[in-house]
Amino acid sequence: MEQGKIHSIIFDSISDGVFTTDFECKITTFNRAAEEISGFSSEEAIGKYCFDIFRTDFCQKSCALRASLKDMSPAKNERVTIITKTGRKVPISVSTTILRDEDEKFIGAVEFFRDLTEVEDLKKQINISKGLGDIVSSSEKMQKIFEILPEIATSECSVLIQGASGVGKELVAQAIHNLSPRLSGPYIRLNCAAVPETLLESELFGYEKGAFTDAKRDKPGHFQLAQGGTLLLDEIGEMPVSLQVKLLRVLNNGEYRPLGSTKTLYTDARIIASSNRDIEKMVEEGSFRKDLFYRINVFNIAIPSLSERVEDIPALVSHFIRKLQVRTGKNIQRISPEALNLLRKYDFPGNVRELENAVEHAFVLCRNCVIETEHLPEKVVETASNGSVSRSKAEPYGDSSEEAVIAEALKRHYGNRELAARELGMHRGTLWRKMRKYNIVFP
């Protein structure tokens, strides 16, 4: 085989994109991986300037290839974004070096580039997972919320989070802060329902010494404490209408005055509001200002109750077991299928918070490594045993409770029988036999 053909085969077999240029940055060779990443064929690329093919701002400002041609020095792993032939943006890692012929004569440059799309997607997923913290869910409704949280977080828009008590509204607000550019700033929470009306204004805006009888010194308000960060106004539906007017002013232009002060202060705190009440209905009833509602409701996140996402219960239970293992030092490893099935049948009016309390209750009573039905709260066991099951909790796999538990475990672990068996506390062979018994099939 001719030497040139051998070189060509090797050139095209490299998984990284590779191309060579002459002194003027005109492409002279273009391998197969370069074609796949850029979308341009070698016929389209050869003879063109490299910046006409890769079309990125760095081509004109700080091109690694041009720098190598100028300084006769290599570049390593510089991160740039190219635009493919179809207009798609692709992050790549670029390395360059000068090109010499057999006589060591300088004839141009060569660039190696690697598609970083998968790597950066993985990093993004890891960052999102870190940002989500204690939020655990595999339900379709919650997954849709997770998908848009990064965009919401970076948008800086006002957000209204609504849902029943205990569903995790504060966790979602914290996640928005964690995923936002304000992560290094403070995250401040004010529960409007827990503060008396007479004190709520001073908690929000602060006060100066002498503003009222007990004002012995200046006190910063939550708007000042949250400067450069995020302020969560929890249960905003409990805020009196008179204070809603002043809050609207802050949301409109960032201006506020501490009590007893004539000086106007400014805040750039991002406002997130949450409520377990129907704010839109409150607007219709006249107990919540319409203009404030529209101001805080730029983006609305409705968190479903736990009874609407019963498939999350096993994963949440596992999550709480891991947390309580660390907190209590107990070697409790899992929950029995029978106990888990009772939890799945219970309606959980207190939502995720009540489920966590139930698991903590079980930790107090459990003396071995498995949580059984007798360790669960009496109310949960009695209600679930009496068949008080909401329609949304109907068994997805026939009448067998064990069948549903096994199927859900396999679903959580994407069909991985070893992981599912470990979670269920049974041998892999036992799991396989039960799958055959119930005709449960996973790819």
pLDDT of residue 392: 40
Instruction: Record the pTM.
Output: 0.63
Q: Which pair of tokens denotes residue 133? A: 């913290």
Task: Give the domains, in start order, of the chain with CATH numbers.
Answer: 3-115 (3.30.450.20), 122-304 (3.40.50.300), 307-438 (1.10.8.60)
pLDDT at 169: 93
> Residue 190 and residue 111: Cα distance in Å, rounded?
55
Q: How far is CA 271 from CA 11, 189, 219, in A?
A: 55, 10, 20
Give the pLDDT of residue 387: 59
Structure tokens at 116: 């970083």
Per-residue pLDDT of the chain (443 residues; tens, 9 = 90+): 454 554 455 566 677 889 988 888 888 999 888 898 888 998 999 998 888 888 776 665 567 777 777 777 778 878 888 888 888 888 888 888 888 777 778 888 888 888 888 776 665 554 555 556 677 777 788 888 888 888 899 888 999 999 999 999 999 999 999 888 898 899 999 999 999 888 898 899 988 776 666 666 778 889 999 999 999 999 999 999 989 999 999 998 888 888 877 788 898 899 999 999 999 999 999 999 999 999 999 999 999 999 898 888 888 898 899 899 999 999 998 898 889 888 988 999 999 999 999 999 999 999 999 999 999 999 999 888 875 444 344 344 334 467 777 887 787 777 778 777 776 767 788 888 888 888 888 65
- pLDDT in the model for residue 210: 61
Q: Are 75 and 67 in contact (CB under 8 A)?
A: yes
Per-residue confidence (pLDDT) for residue 86, from 0 to 100: 85
pLDDT of 75 reads 80
Can you give 174-222 as a three-state secondary structure string? Answer: HHHHHCCCCCCCCEEEEECCCCCHHHHHHHHHEECCCCCCCCCCCEECH
Contacts 24+ apart (CB under 8 A), 249-257: 250/223, 251/158, 251/292, 251/295, 251/296, 252/295, 256/204, 256/205, 256/221, 256/223, 257/205
Cα–Cα dist 286/291, whole Å: 12
Given a contact cutoff of 8 angstroms between Cβ atoms, the answer to whether 347 and 313 are in contact is: no
